[in-house]
Structure 1
Amino acid sequence: MTTATAAAAPPRTWRGNRWALFGIRRAARLAASLWTLVTAAFLMIHLVPGDPVRAALGLTASPELVAARRAQLGLDDPLWRQYLHFLGGLFTGDLGTSTITGQPVADTIGDRLPATLQLAALAFLLAMALAVPVGTAMAALTRGGGRRAAELGFTTVSALLAAVPEFLLAVVLAYVFGVRLGWLPVAGDQGPGSYVLPVLALATGPACVLARIVRVEMLSVLGHDYVRTARAKRLPPHLVYTRHALPNALTATLTLGGLLLSALVAGTVLVENVFAWPGLGSTIVQSILQKDYPLVQGIVLVYGASVLVVNLLVDVVLALLDPRSVIREV
């Protein structure tokens, strides 16, 4: 083994250690966040005023029936025993039983979760598909301080659309394209056309925010030396933007995009209720109105865990795109 080879070996070993430490830290952070989420969801039922069993059975239910139902659900056990039973159930996929329907909460969530994930995923893909080309195009148009009118129009329109709440935009879209024009269905899942309006309502605001970020990042990247070198080589403009500028401008966009994906999952709650979408969003509202606290608890856990997992995936993707961040962190 040569001296150069021997000297090169330690960095590879240290690099592997850094990635291992990065993975351990992220896993530990995720575990701590999940434990906090689970504990908060468990305490939610016990801190809510009133008796969930009485609320589910009605005011006319006999005390004997209420007591039997509480014993069946284990609500008469000490709080610490209920907590341990709840934790044990999570490891086996048991999220409890609905106090209204008597069905396992996990089954109800399994039936409704795919519809919510479809909306969130399609809205995220649409937001990215609109934001990246629009933001890049606006950066190309307004580079060097030119076309002030186009810049003003873009920033004004994007800021206004981003400020409109999802549920309000959903109501407007449903009224215009569903009620007045009759072009698209406005209630339930009636085929591919039913996705258009809820996905637009969810994606419009995030697309505007991301487009503004892409434009700002692209303008910053276009001022770097390597971009000027690429222009000096007389490369076609589309190669300068797509091969040299865009990959370096997407780091901040992906970071914010991951956070917006988490917000999209949570934002489906109101939009689903506007369009009577058969997902978790409409289910949790019905459960709150019916005081079906075990079902509310299970859905809250799913929403919270989804946000945490998305944030973890964003951290991993950013680390893969910029390995220097792992070195700086460790």
Structure 2
Amino acid sequence: MTEPAAVRPTAPSALTDVLASPWVSFARRRAGRFALSLWALLTAAFLMIHLVPGDPVRAALGTTAPADLVRARRAALGLDDPLPVQYMHYLGSLFTGDFGTSMTSGTPVSELIGDRLPATVQLAVPAFVVAVLIAVPLGALMAVLTRGGRRRGGELAFTSTSVFLAAIPEFLLAVGLVSVFAVRLGWFPVAGRSGAGSYVLPVLSLAVGPAAVLARMVRVEMLSVLGAEFVRTARAKRLPARRVYAGHALPNALTATLTLGGLVLTGLVAGTVLVENVFAWPGLGSTIVQSIQQKDYPAVQGVVLVYGIGVLSVNLLVDVALALLDPRSAIREA
């Protein structure tokens, strides 16, 4: 009797190999976290208009508005429907790009956001770039100069100054800069967005605090890296100082600093709310304050949602950048 031939194990398919890759697992986890956080954000933004005491329609139309007009407005906005029905309509509208309609101006909120968002981005991105360009070289230089307990006076001056600058609120710094450089010296415009000069004071107001925080973080991480074995090996090989510091030490120090950099960027975006109002900047920050004062809850809801999505997106980009800089972290999490 002939024995059946042994079944040979089939080689795993290319698709199976791809799905089993640590990078695919990393991407799947990050996408899941992003989706869950986005759902929580959407739900919180929806509940915002229902948890606020009072009737938003009555607040927007005024206490003297006729009852028929208030009822018609509530029906047009769908506020008379059951809460679950409103929630499903809300989610469906968002996925089609419909953020609702402003109660005060009658303008679609998506159009309002589209008009104001570029101004906020044009303020936040340069501020972040300026903060990084100041913090990274300054923190690395202070680490090199003060390593091994050297220059205690310089270290104390740097630490004290950075703590002081980081503690100043953005709006207070903005008011001080306006008072000195716009009102007294007349070097820059007091408010508005007209020309390159109008960007200087708002960008500095947003960048100084984050730059101080990042510079301290870069210095601490750089000091840790300068004591590592591979840096001592590079020095033993008599490599040029520029290559040791810039080519070996600094990239490793920035890996840990990048996490804080993402948090600083999200905080910087939030800081635009107050700074924009100081400089009468036509962005989302001034829009949300005006909408709160006018009790225009759909506009507030839409702007808060945009800010939240921006924060989630920044955190996701930071996670991806960290994984690219240190692939072992993505593999360890798989």
TM-score normalised over the length of structure 1:
0.95
Larger displacement relative to structure 2 (294-303 or 236-245) = 236-245
Q: Which residue of 2 aligns with 1:254?
A: 258
Could you tell me which residue of structure 2 aligns to residue 5 of structure 1?
none
Aligned residues: 321
Distance in 2 (alpha carbons) for counterparts of 1:258 and 1:81: 37
Q: What is the one-letter code of the residue matched to 1:317?
A: A
Residue 15 of structure 1: how far off its partner (Å): 9.3
Q: Does 1:56 align with 2:60?
A: yes
1:59 partner SS: coil
Q: 2:218 aligns with which of 214, 218, 226?
A: 214
Distance of 1:58 and 1:174 partners within structure 2: 36
Q: What aligned pairs does 1:39-188 form with structure 2 within 5 A after superposition?
A: 39-188=43-192
Are 1:321 and 2:325 matched, yes or no? yes
Which one-letter code corresponds to 2:294 in the other structure?
Q
State the Cα RMSD in Å: 1.5
Deviations 1:218-237 (CA, angstroms, capped at 9, x unpaired): 11111112212222222221
Given candidates 276, 280, 291, the residue that maps to 2:280 is 276
Q: Structure 2 CA distance, aligned partners of 1:313 and 1:275?
A: 30
Shift of the alpha carbon at 1:144?
A: 1.2
Q: Distance in 2 between matches of 1:159 and 1:85?
A: 48
- Conserved in 1, the CA contact under 8 Å of 2:18 and 2:24? no
Matched, 1:203 2:207: yes
In the alignment, the residues of structure 1 paired with residue 20 and residue 266 of structure 2 have an alpha-carbon distance, to the nearest angstrom, of: 30
Which amino acid letter does the alignment assign opposite residue 301 of structure 2? Q
Identity of aligned residues (%): 73
Match of residue 305, structure 2, among 298, 301, 304 = 301
Residue 120 of structure 1: how far off its partner (Å): 1.0
The 3 A distance-change label for structure 1 pair 42 and 15 is closer
Deviation per CA, 1:162-215: give whole Å up to 9, x if none.
111111111101111111111101211011111111110111011011101111
Q: Partner residue of 1:267? A: 271
CA deviation profile, 1:260-286 (whole Å, cap 9, x unmatched): 111111110001111110000000000
Q: Which residue of 1 aligns with 2:228?
A: 224
TM-score for the superposition, normalised by structure 2: 0.94
CA distance in 1, matches of 2:302, 2:330: 35
1:36 equivalent among 34, 40, 48: 40
What's the counterpart of residue 286 of structure 1? 290
2: CA distance between counterparts of 1:49 and 1:175? Answer: 39
Q: Distance in 2 between matches of 1:248 and 1:320?
A: 13
Residue 79 of structure 1: how far off its partner (Å):
1.0
C-alpha contact (below 8 Å) 2:19/2:25 kept by paired residues: no
Amino acid at match of 1:252: A
